[in-house]
Amino acid sequence: MTLAIDARGLVKRFEGKTAVNGVDLAVPEGMIYGVLGPNGAGKTTSLRMILGIIDPDEGTRTVLGNPRPLEVAHAIGYLPEERGLYQSMAVREMIAFMGALRGLPLDQGRRRADKLLTEYDLGDVGRKQIRTLSKGMAQTVQLLGTLVHDPKLIVLDEPFSGLDAINQGRLETLIRARRDAGATILFSTHVIAHAERLCSEISIIAGGKVRYAGSVDAARDRLPSRVVLRTRAKEGAWRADLPPDTTPVDGNWHFALPSTGIESVLQALITHGAGIENLTVERPGLHDAFIAIAGADAEAAMNMASAGDMA
Amino acid sequence: MMNLFTSALVIARRDYRATVMSRLFYVFMLFPLVLLIFGGIFGYVMASSKAEAPAYLAIIAEPDRAAQFEQSYAALHSKLSGENFEGVKIIAPLSNAAGQALAVLADTRQQVNAVLVDTGATPRLVGPSASVDRLRPGVLLALGNAGKEATPEMPLALTRTDPAGSGVASDRAGLGYGAAVFLFWLNMLLANMMLSNLVEEKSNKIMEVLIAALRVDAIFLGKLIAMVGTALTIVTAYVGLGTIGYLLFAPPELALPVPAIGWPLFIVLGYAYFIMNYMVVGGIFIGIGAQASSPREVQTISMPVTMAQMLVLLFASTAIKTHEGWQWWLGALFPPSSPLVMYNQAAISAKLWPHLLTLGWLMLCAALVIRFAAARFRKYVLKSGPAREKRRGLLRAQWTKRATTSR
Ligand SMILES: Nc1ncnc2c1ncn2[C@@H]1O[C@H](COP(=O)(O)OP(=O)(O)OP(=O)(O)O)[C@@H](O)[C@H]1O
Ligand SMILES: [Mg+2]
């Protein structure tokens, strides 16, 4: 398995404040890889270091086998967090220019721009000026410009923010299609649902450090399943049969699936006549894993800032 | 990987087209008109100050004879007051007086309009036609008086030194100074263009897209090339119009003196110095401008920048006027003023090699300035860290073949 990105021990300090504190990131080729983390976790800074936009204070990175990312710029596409286009440029010219930045001849870029726009049902905006587009459309145009030169490695910083639900879905489809065509995709997000649906592997960054790296499944498997129980009786001797971590939530009992299994608990409940109304065993979502891994503080901070983005 | 110049051209091409096709461009096209008016006023002031500058009639003769001549010439002056007399400069003769006379004429510092060589049997007045014809009667009278005997028939040989229609040295100095000022004003115009371009870039937040794809010095170089290209478009249009207008309508009295180096080279050098001047000065601006974190800051910066440019003009003028010594050398070597000083030199001296040397020096400086600006930008604006691979230098990049991986 070759690595499209191999970053080790990246450290970045801004005026004494450590933004990234020893991040390792190994992204295998041909994979959709997510970087999750709350606001200010150091996602953008890590991506910038990987792409060579800034150099790290410490650590090394190899991108597509090259320690100097700019030398393989032609094979990389990057959508920055702060979107930016030349307002007075025509859409297809802008896309072609973004290709030219990555070594794609302009005329070829224009042709591909037309094709991409048509595929994205934006065929009619090709000759319009960027400033006449809506924000979401402009963002889509920038995305197409990021992909126009058919990069082998696609890096997207918060690609879903600012898009409506329909366009988020289309973006997911687009990302999968690029993966199927052989590209490697690395994207950052603080919306867990996207990572859960798209990624085979993720890294969870919080406080400038990688707290977890691996598959989404393994992240969930780190946590025991959750049991949600509803009983007819509210009190009784059976209460002692529930595991000590049990908490009442909205008239239900929540507790982690005991390592010994659910049967012994069930038996005790039946024997003591708790009257089981409803019982579900839920596999933990990435969301729970995220909270457990990144810490509740981080999650609180994130919810506050990203409530608007959750479509 | 694209090499430095291919990368720079991608940026340059876009910027050039964007500028030339923008509405702002028409403002810039009109701006030179304003400059012409300014230039006119400036030229007028210059012309009046030039009139006060002393000009001399030199005499090459044995000290006694020369002193006699000077006396009678001065006496004549007092009698015929109102006439425009040159002061007399006495020069001790060397073995080759004729050659000496030409050398004196060619030397602008001496500010000599004509030379009277009085070492042999027949005195000889050497100089451009205009001066010779104007000075001849006075010189004849003075010579007669100097010989104590009023012999109006005294022979006076004439040597007219205007083969290529070359003007008087002081006229050339005027041309050289005008050329330097012209260069300066062009730069002012472009500095403003540069800064407004940076404002656009800042408000577009597009920098990150560029920086992720290309080296910062390639981006800066590309921006400079685009600006120079835009400027050359404007300048060529104006110079073309100006030349046609001049050829068609200018009265003969307005004839420009031929620069010492000849018109074709003078024009070529004009372009070359303009480009290099812009690369150096523009490089400094882009370096300063890129440090600003908002369009507002860029505008704030443009004020001191304009003042700094004025200082450079002042500095260059001083260098041009002193014309020798450390001030001149400093002006000729200091990159922002060097093109002005050396372009002035092209008007008054026919030597080509100093220009080639200067252009080489300026190229080196421009490369260093761009490198330096890019490094500062990376360090202080992007806050890039130190842990990076060694890069190839801007100067070496053009010789180095493409890097290992290429498209
Ligand atoms: N150029 C900079 N100068 C100073 N501090 C910076 C700079 N860039 C980032 N930081 C700081 O580094 C930390 C990490 O920022 P970064 O942008 O990498 O976070 P992030 O994970 O991308 O957050 P978000 O989800 O909000 O985009 C933050 O505390 C931020 O304030
Ligand atoms: Mg970010």
Q: Is residue B262 part of a domain?
A: yes
Q: What is the pLDDT of residue A302?
A: 54
Phi, psi (rounded to 5 degrees) for A182: 110, 0
Hey, are the CB atoms on A83 and B405 less than 8 Å from each other? Answer: no
Longest Cα–Cα distance of chain A, Å, equals 79
Per the CB < 8 A criterion, the answer to whether A91 and A56 are in contact is no
Domain count across chain B: 2
For residues B338 and B367, state if they share a domain.
yes
Query: How does pLDDT run across A42-69, given as a tens digit for each residue?
Result: 999 999 999 999 999 999 999 999 999 9
- Pairing relationship of beta strands A76-79 and A153-157 according to DSSP bridges: parallel
Tell me: the pLDDT tens digits for A202-227?
999 988 888 888 888 787 777 778 88
pLDDT of A283 higher than 90? no
What's the pTM value of the predicted model, to 2 decimals? 0.73
Our measurement of the distance from residue B306's CA atom to the centroid of its chain's CA atoms, rounded to an integer in Å, reads: 19
Indicate if B351 and B307 belong to the same structural domain: yes
B8 pLDDT above the threshold of 90: yes
Give the range of the structural domain holding residue B186, as residue numbers without chain letter. Answer: 167-394
Host H or E run for residue A231: strand A226-231
Q: Which of B177, B366, B229 is closest to B287 using CA atoms?
A: B366
Residues B201 and B342 in one domain: yes
Q: Based on the domain organization, do B219 and B267 belong to the same domain?
A: yes
Which of A291-305, B122-136, B196-210 has the lowest average pLDDT?
A: A291-305
User: How many angstroms is it from A220 CA to the middle of ligand 1?
Assistant: 28
The domain locations on chain A are 3-220, 226-282
- Alpha carbon distance A113, B194 (integer Å): 30
Could you say which DSSP state residue B348 is in?
A: H
Asked whether the predicted pLDDT for residue A196 surpasses 90, the reply is: no
Domain end, chosen from B160, B192, B222, is at B160
**Of residues A41, A36, A39, the one with CA closest to residue A219:** A36
The string of pLDDT tens digits covering residues A242-272 is: 888 888 888 888 888 887 878 888 888 888 8
Place of tokens 């890019």: B374
Question: Which residue's C-alpha comes closest to atom 4 of ligand 1?
Answer: A14
Last residue of a domain, which of B145, B160, B175? B160
Ligand 1 proximal residues by C-beta, below 6 Å: A 14, 19, 37, 39-45, 81, 190; B 383
A66 forms bridges with which residues in the sheet? A63
Q: Please, how many CA atoms are within 13 Å of residue B70, restricted to the half-sphere of its CB?
A: 17
Q: Under a CB-based contact definition with an 8 Å cutoff, are residues A228 and A279 in contact?
A: yes
Listed in sequence order, the residues at least 6 apart from A243 whose beta carbon sits closer than 8 Å to its beta carbon are A255, A256, A258, A265
- Between strands A32-36 and A201-206, the pairing is parallel
Q: Is A30 helix (H, G, I), strand (E, B) or coil?
A: coil
Non-local CB neighbours of A203 within 8 Å, separated by 6+ positions: A25, A33, A34, A35, A36, A210, A212, A213
Q: Which of A92-96, B89-93, B298-302, B361-365 has the lowest mean pLDDT?
A: B298-302
Contacting residues of B for A70, CB less than 8 Å apart: 1, 213-215
- Predicted confidence at residue B254, as pLDDT, reads 57
Give the Cα separation of A208 and A206 in Å (integer). 5
Alpha carbons A146 and B212: distance in angstroms, whole number: 11
Residues B366, B371, B377, B379: what is their CA dihedral angle, to the nearest 10 degrees? -150
Chain A nearest C-alpha distance from B231 (Å): 21
Q: What are the structure tokens assigned to B71, written together?
A: 């006396």
What per-residue confidence (pLDDT) applies to A60?
Answer: 92
The model's pLDDT over B29-40, given as tens digits with 9 standing for 90+, comes to 776 667 667 766
- What pLDDT, on a 0 to 100 scale, did the predictor assign at position B392? 41
Residue B402 confidence class, pLDDT cut points 50, 70, 90: very low
- What type of residue sits at position B291? Q
Query: Is the residue at B64 inside a domain?
Result: yes
State the pLDDT at residue B250: 63
What's the rounded mean pLDDT across residues A1-7? 90
Give me the helix-helix angle, B325-333 and B338-348, nearest 10°: 110
Tell me the mean pLDDT in the region B114-140: 80
pLDDT of residue B401: 38
Helix/strand/coil for B353 = helix
**What pLDDT was estimated at residue B154?**
61
Contacts of A53 in chain B (CB under 8 A): 208, 211-212, 382, 384
Q: Residue A97 is nearest to which of B1, B14, B385, comparing CB atoms?
A: B14
A79 burial via Cβ count (<10 Å: 0-12, 13-18, 19+): buried
Q: Which residues contact B240 (CB under 8 A, 6 or more apart)?
A: none
Q: What is the CATH number of the domain that holds B114?
A: 3.40.190
Is B90 a residue whose pLDDT tops 50?
yes
Q: Report the share of chain A in percent with pLDDT over 90.
A: 51
Q: How far apart are CA A91 and CA A143, in angstroms?
A: 12
Contact B383 A14 (CB under 8 A): yes
Q: Say if A131 is an interface residue toward chain B (CB within 8 Å).
A: no
Rg (CA), chain A: 24
As a whole number of angstroms, the distance between CA B312 and CA B337 comes to: 6
- CA separation for the pair A132, A120 (Å, rounded): 18
Confidence (pLDDT) at B387: 54
Nearest to B4 by CA among B369, B340, B343, B396: B396
Q: What is residue B395's predicted lDDT score, i.e. its pLDDT?
A: 39
Q: Chain B: residue nearest A86 by CA?
A: B204
Confidence label for B394 from pLDDT (cuts 50, 70 and 90): very low
Q: Which two tokens stand for residue B92?
A: 């001790």
B107/B134 same-domain check: yes
Residues 6+ apart with CB under 8 A from B192: B302
What does the DSSP assignment read for B42-62? HHHHHHHHHHHS--EEEEES-
**What's residue A303's pLDDT?**
57
In a 13 Å sphere around the CA of A62, the CA atoms on its Cβ side amount to 10
Burial class for A287, CB neighbours closer than 10 Å (0-12, 13-18, 19+): middle
Q: Are B187 and B278 in contact (CB under 8 A)?
A: yes
DSSP B352: -
Q: Based on the domain organization, do B88 and B174 belong to the same domain? A: no
Q: Is the pLDDT of residue A308 over 50?
A: no
- What secondary structure does DSSP assign to B86-145, as a single string? PEEEEE---S-HHHHHHHHHH-GGG-EEEEEE-SSSS-EEEE-HHHHHHHHHHHHHHHHH
Amino acid B375: pLDDT: 86
Residues of chain B with Cβ-Cβ distance to A83 below 8 Å are: 205
Query: From the alpha carbon of A48, which atom of ligand 1 is closest?
Result: 18
Provide the pLDDT confidence category of residue B166 given band limits of 50, 70 and 90: very low
Interface with B, mutate which of A62, A63, A97 (most B CBs under 10 A): A97
Residue B110 has pLDDT above 50, yes or no: yes
Instruction: Give the closest of A68, A100, A142 to B10, CB-based.
Output: A100
> B10, A12: Cβ pair inside 8 Å?
no
Q: How long is chain A?
A: 311
Radius of gyration of chain B (CA): 27
Nearest to B208 among A59, A67, A84 (CB): A84
**A286: CA distance to ligand 2 center in Å?**
20
Chain A residue with Cα closest to B377:
A54
CATH of A3-220, one of 3.20.20.70, 1.10.3720.10, 3.40.50.1010, 3.40.50.300: 3.40.50.300
pLDDT (tens digit, 9 = 90+) per residue, A147-184? 999 999 999 999 998 899 999 999 999 999 999 999 99
Instruction: Look at residue B311 and tell me whether its pLDDT is greater than 80.
Output: yes
Q: Indicate the residue type of B397.
A: A
Residue type, A27: V
Single residue among B160, B184, B203 that ends a domain in this structure: B160
pLDDT higher at B282 or A11:
A11
- CB contacts < 8 A, A to B, total 100
Q: B165, exposed or middle or buried, with CB in 10 Å at 0-12, 13-18, 19+?
A: exposed
Claim to verify: residue B95 and residue B174 sit in the same structural domain: no
For B213-265, how does the pLDDT look when each residue is reduced to its tens digit (9 = 90+)?
999 889 989 988 988 888 888 778 777 777 777 777 666 655 667 777 777 88
- Taking the CA of residue A41 as reference, the ligand 1 atom at the shortest distance is 21
3-class secondary structure, A58: strand
Helices (H), chain A: 43-51, 91-101, 106-119, 135-147, 165-180, 192-198, 216-221, 263-271, 286-294, 296-306
From A68, which residue of chain B is nearest by alpha-carbon distance? B389
DSSP track, A242-281: S-TT-EEETTEEEEEPPTT-SHHHHHHHHHTT--EEEEEE
Per the domain annotation, does B216 fall within a domain?
yes
Neighbours of ion ligand 2 (CB under 5 A): A 43-44, 81
pLDDT band at residue B115 using 50, 70 and 90 as cut-offs: confident
Amino acid at A223: L
Q: Are strands B124-127 and B112-117 parallel, antiparallel or unpaired?
A: antiparallel
What percent of chain B lies above the pLDDT cut of 70?
A: 72
